[in-house]
Amino acid sequence: MASPGAVLFDAYGTLFDVYSVGQAAERLFPGQGAALAVAWRDKQIEYTRLVTTSNDGAHYRPFSELTRAGLRYSARRLGLPMDDAAEQQLMDAYRTLSAFEESREVLQALKARGVVTGILSNGDPGMLDAAVRSAGLHGLLDHMLSVDGIRKYKTHPEAYQLGAVATGLPPAQIAFVSCNGWDALGATWYGFRTLWINRYQLPFEELGTQPERIGHSLRDVLAFF
């Protein structure tokens, strides 16, 4: 197959390590940092689905608000004594998540090839801008696409359509890269050429569809070219 004309990346979990926030959580709640990071991420994603599918999106709230709500719920569930200062420390840590070590290298390699690059994310614009600038990736991305403008989270097809509209390319000429299996599946159903980064040695979703490619590092996107 011909090489794709653009590569779009999921942000949270793909370019940025959502579990790196566990380091800040561990300093605040010794012995509970990793558990809080996992519970927080799961509830955050659950909330995006809840507000997208209920009442045709009438309950939409920006990703930053859902992230804070997920943190509060998770702390309560784990019985952690989180005050306002601790909550703000963790939210600040989430805005400056660590990028995976190969993120910059891969974006630079794609730019050197003249490939259009971008982020297509549930994150609202302020969150994405903070994360990208903190990681030093800002000059390596042609597009910063947030679902906030359409008020529907992935895996709604209108979320993926943002990529086709922004690049002017049909879905079949766009590669979409995600570490989240559910996201790679939704993007495949939409019509993107997909690469699932299986960082954690997990099985793919059992719904009868496979991504075009499966890798273990962002470097595997270069195999498209």
**Six-digit token string for 109:** 């390699």
Active-site residue, selected from the candidate residues 10, 124, 148, 183: 10
Query: Length of the chain in residues, anyone?
Result: 225
Burial category of 79 from C-beta neighbours within 10 Å (exposed 0-12, middle 13-18, buried 19 and up):
exposed
Q: Closest Cα to residue 95, out of 54, 127, 132?
A: 127
Count of other CB atoms within 10 angstroms of residue 110: 24
To the query of whether residue 10 is one of the catalytic residues in this protein, the response is yes
Hey, is 35 helix, strand or coil? helix
- Give me the DSSP letters along 124-174: -HHHHHHHHHHHT-GGG-SEEEEGGGTT--TTSHHHHHHHHHHHT--GGGE
Grouping H, G, I as helix, E, B as strand and the rest as coil, residue 57 is helix
Q: Which residues are catalytic?
A: 10
